[in-house]
Amino acid sequence: MKAVLERGGAAALALEGITCSFAGAAGEPGYTAVREATLVVEDGEFVSIVGPTGCGKSTLLNVAAGLLAPSAGSVHVFGQPLAGLNRHAGYLFQADALMPWKCALENVVAGLVFRGAAREQALETGRAWLRRVGLEGFGDRFGHQLSGGMRKRVALAQTLALDPAILLMDEPFSALDVQTRVLMENELLDLWSADRKSVVFVTHDLEEAISLSDRVVVLSAGPETHPIGEYAIDLPRPRDVSEIRLLPRFIELHGRIWRAMKSEVLKGYARQRQ
Amino acid sequence: MRGNGSRLRLKAIQIALLAGAFLAWHVLTSPTLLPPIYFGDADKAAFFFGEPLKVFSRLLDWFVSGEIYRHLWVTLIETLLAFAIGTLGGVGFGLWLARAPLAAAVLDPYIKAANAMPRVILAPIFMVWFGLGMASKVALGVTLVFFIVFFNVFQGVREVSPVILANARMLGASPRALLRHVFLPSAMSWVFASLHNSIGLAFVGAVVGEYLGSAEGVGYLIHQAEGVFDINTVFAGILLLTAFALVLDWAVTILEVRFMLWQPRAGETEKL
């Protein structure tokens, strides 16, 4: 799929002036989750989006995926306006999105089957991906027979098996325990560095954002969320997420971004308490 | 349920309870054993409640002479046909309606009315339409099974997690693939949950239909015996139907275990 893409220097993903309003119940005012948000992700770039809870990060990601049509603004994928679902994107959801009635291998190959791949070949690719995420021999397990971390790996393999040019990730590791999380983050970096997909990684965890990304975008508190700051992360690669957190440069970046975020976090918290 | 010993004891108590019930039945109805306390005439208790020994000899008679097999076969076929047709119809209609909100909204009050109606009362109409043979019994069973399956499928499709749905769409599933890989499996888990109910109702449809008018089947046998006040044969028919229903239920359990592998069962551990 990637080979036939006309990239021609266009950004992998360009969201311009995105506004998302949701109609309120009868007699109540509508709710504007995102207002005038612009976000550009270059080809091969790893961008994290951070912001306080409930600030519309997922809304922005759904717009990029084509699952949600914005009220205003435009979406371009490799220079082409987006109509319908974004076929160049793979989406890793926050919640468990595996089909519980399919075993791990069947889940991994689901996308290939949906796109009309020959079954034998799909199974071959699926097994290879299970191996790459460290789940060789677990192909015949069902969701309830796997741990949370294993299920996330299956979901990762399911998404990556389609070899998407863009990877959208919505707090994918937020439900995992700390140790599993660090392992998964390192694994993600390994997989990403192999073929440098464009990644949009949504998280509320600033440390995770800095240790993974090339660039961190900070969103304001909702409603009417919009980006309020962008920070280039010039830490060397390859990185080890558990060690990089100790570097002075990491601490300095963390301090700078946190100062920008702090007032928004407090604002979001105050609004939620009302 | 702590170990083999206690399970064995449980079984023993269960069997003793059954034997006790039959013994009490025998003692309370036998004209020679029973002092006339309630009924003035010693034969009256036997007339109303039958006598277990005669009931069993009637059952034995049926199986030895082979007379019963034809009737059991008819009842079984009616039950299975009603079950199969009702389930297929319910799944098809449920899938369609759950994906067609306008049609669902239009049909909603009529479906509720059709479900609320005591449908056993349709039996005479089916007899007129389909005759006294198998078809009218199958039709009655279908009306009973259809709604259970339909409501479960409808619910199953509606309850598909939006995340699983969005994920399948992002993976490139066409509407047809969504139906096959997402909606149908989700609905089937609800259908299987209701399988015990629906096979039971298919059985009810068959037996009630036979009872109301037919020339074959276990329900017909009971009806015939009742007509000549042969209470022992009526009880024999009831016992036979109960055993038959237990066998059907057991078959459904086996089917369930076979097809619902992906569902977690409580306290399940890995078998080495």
pLDDT for residue A7: 47
Show which residues on chain A lie within 8 Å of chain B, measured between beta carbons. Answer: 65, 67, 85, 87, 89-91, 93, 95-103, 110-111, 113-115, 142-145, 158-159, 162
Report if residue A120 sits inside a domain. Answer: yes
pLDDT for residue B267: 55
ipTM > 0.95, yes or no: no
Q: Which residues of A touch B189 (CB under 8 A)?
A: 101
pLDDT for residue A3: 40
pLDDT for residue B42: 65
| Number of domains comprising chain A | 1
User: Cα separation of B83 and B252, whole Å?
Assistant: 12
Secondary structure element (H or E) that encloses residue B260, with its range: none
Each residue's pLDDT expressed in tens, for chain A with a length of 274 residues: 444 444 456 888 988 888 888 887 766 777 888 888 889 999 889 999 998 777 778 888 999 999 989 888 899 999 888 888 988 999 999 888 999 989 999 999 999 999 988 889 999 999 998 988 888 888 888 888 888 888 988 998 999 899 899 999 998 888 788 888 888 899 889 888 888 889 999 998 899 999 999 999 998 887 788 888 889 998 888 888 888 989 999 999 999 999 888 888 887 777 777 7
For residue range B218-255, list pLDDT tens digits in order. Answer: 889 899 888 888 888 899 999 999 999 899 989 888 88
Whether the predicted pLDDT of B13 surpasses 90: yes
Report if residue A145 sits inside a domain. Answer: yes
CB contact under 8 A, A158 and B261: no
As a whole number, the mean pLDDT across chain B is 86
CB A228 within 8 A of CB A218: yes
CB contact under 8 A, A67 and B170: yes
Nearest of A202, A225, A200, A262 to residue A56 by alpha carbon: A225
Report if residue A119 sits inside a domain. Answer: yes
For residue range B118-171, list pLDDT tens digits in order. Answer: 888 888 899 899 988 889 999 999 999 999 899 888 888 888 889 999 999 999
CB contact under 8 A, B172 and A114: yes
User: Cα separation of B207 and B78, whole Å?
Assistant: 9
Report if residue A110 sits inside a domain. Answer: yes
Q: Which residues of A touch B263 (CB under 8 A)?
A: 100, 144
pLDDT for residue A63: 92
Q: Regarding beta strands A80-81 and A227-232, do their DSSP bridges make them parallel or antiparallel, or are they unpaired? A: unpaired
B233 touches chain A (CB under 8 A): no
Report if residue A8 sits inside a domain. Answer: no
Report if residue A14 sits inside a domain. Answer: no
Which pLDDT band holds residue B117 (cuts at 50, 70, 90)? confident
CB contact under 8 A, A115 and B172: yes
For residue range A118-130, list pLDDT tens digits in order. Answer: 889 999 999 998 9
Domain that holds residue A110: 95-163
pLDDT for residue B261: 73
Whether the predicted pLDDT of B1 surpasses 50: no
Report if residue A134 sits inside a domain. Answer: yes
Percent of residues, chain B, with pLDDT higher than 70:
92
What is the 3-class SS of chain A, one letter each residue?
CCCCCCCCCCCCEEEEEEEEEECCCCCCCCEEEEEEEEEEECCCCEEEEECCCCCCHHHHHHHHHCCCCCCEEEEEECCEECCCCCCCEEEECCCCCCCCCCCHHHHHHHHHHHCCCCHHHHHHHHHHHHHHCCCCCCCCCCHHHCCHHHHHHHHHHHHHCCCCCEEEEECCCCCCCHHHHHHHHHHHHHHHHHHCCEEEEEECCHHHHHHHCCEEEEECCCCCECEEEEEECCCCCCCCHHHHCCCHHHHHHHHHHHHHHHHHHHHHHHHHHC
CB contact under 8 A, A85 and B170: yes
Can you list the domains of chain B with their CATH numbers?
1-49 (no CATH), 65-259 (1.10.3720.10)
At what angle are helices B52-65 and B231-259 packed, to 10 degrees?
A: 70
CB atoms within 10 A of CB B1: 5
Query: Tell me, what DSSP letter sits at residue B31?
Result: T
Instruction: Show the tokens assigned to A171.
Output: 């707090």
Mean pLDDT of B196-215: 89
Q: Regarding beta strands A227-232 and A215-219, do their DSSP bridges make them parallel or antiparallel, or are they unpaired? A: antiparallel
Q: Which residues of A touch B176 (CB under 8 A)?
A: none
Residue A114 is nearest to which of B163, B173, B261, comparing CB atoms? Answer: B173
Secondary structure element (H or E) that encloses residue A41, with its range: strand A31-41
CB A164 within 8 A of CB A90: yes
Q: Tell me how close the Cα of A166 comes to any Cα of chain B, in angstroms.
A: 12
Nearest of A78, A80, A76, A4 to residue A43 by alpha carbon: A78
pLDDT for residue B157: 87
Q: Which residue has the higher pLDDT, B111 or B38?
A: B111
Q: Tell me how close the Cα of B179 comes to any Cα of chain A, in angstroms.
A: 12
pLDDT for residue B40: 66
Q: Which residues of A touch B160 (CB under 8 A)?
A: none
